[in-house]
Amino acid sequence: MRPAACDHPRMPALTDPTPVSRETPPDPPPWFRVHLFACTNRRPDGHRRGSCAARGGEGLRDYLKARAKELGIPGIRVNSAGCLDRCEFGPVVVIYPEGVWYRAETREDVDEILTVHLQGGGRVPRLMLTERHLPPAG
């Protein structure tokens, strides 16, 4: 027979006396504060989608790297990436962890992204890709 609930009025609530944590530990801290990927994919000339390299992506990636270093932006890593699949709007870059995309066509564009977004924590709406930047149908 089970004892009535009132048999042990001072008994604590049922808890595991030696709890084993089953929680997933938190993710490690970000390795890079800012991780920027510049598309440098090259398609053959005349491809209907074009490509970031054909639009100058490699030179802009080089400039980005050099300027980021020059400005001393802390915790930043600039990497080349393969095709980011937003070719029509290239040369494109994407900045993580925030996942903000930009079209950077000129050195002035790169400078604006570096100073306004990466140094100032703002955004550059005139260069930003949004959900309305869709690849053409077909």
Q: Least Å distance between CB 79 and a second copy?
A: 5
Query: Out of 74, 125, 136, 138, which residue is the one contacting a second copy (CB under 8 A)?
Result: 125
- Kindly tell me which of 7 and 27 has the beta carbon lying closer to a second copy: 27
Binding to a second copy by CB under 8 A, coded x per residue (else -) over 22-61, reads --xx-xxxxxx--x-x------------------------
At residue 63, what is the residue type?
A: Y
For residue 86, state whether it binds a second copy (rule: CB under 8 A). Answer: yes
Side chain identity at 82, as an amino acid letter?
G
- Nearest distance in Å: CB 82, a second copy: 4
Peptide bond into 74 cis (omega under 30): no
Q: Of 91, 131, 96, nearest to 117 (Cα)?
A: 96
| Secondary structure letter of residue 97 according to DSSP | T
**Nearest distance from residue 24's CB to a second copy, in Å?**
6
Cα→Cα distances 35→27, 78, 83, 92, 131, Å: 17, 6, 17, 14, 21
Shortest distance in whole angstroms from residue 8 CB to a second copy: 39
Residues 55-84 that bind a second copy (CB under 8 A): 77, 79-84
The candidate with the shortest Cα–Cα distance to 90, out of 49, 32, 45, 131, is 49
Residues that bind a second copy (CB under 8 A): 24-25, 27-32, 35, 37, 77, 79-86, 94, 96-101, 122-123, 125, 128-131
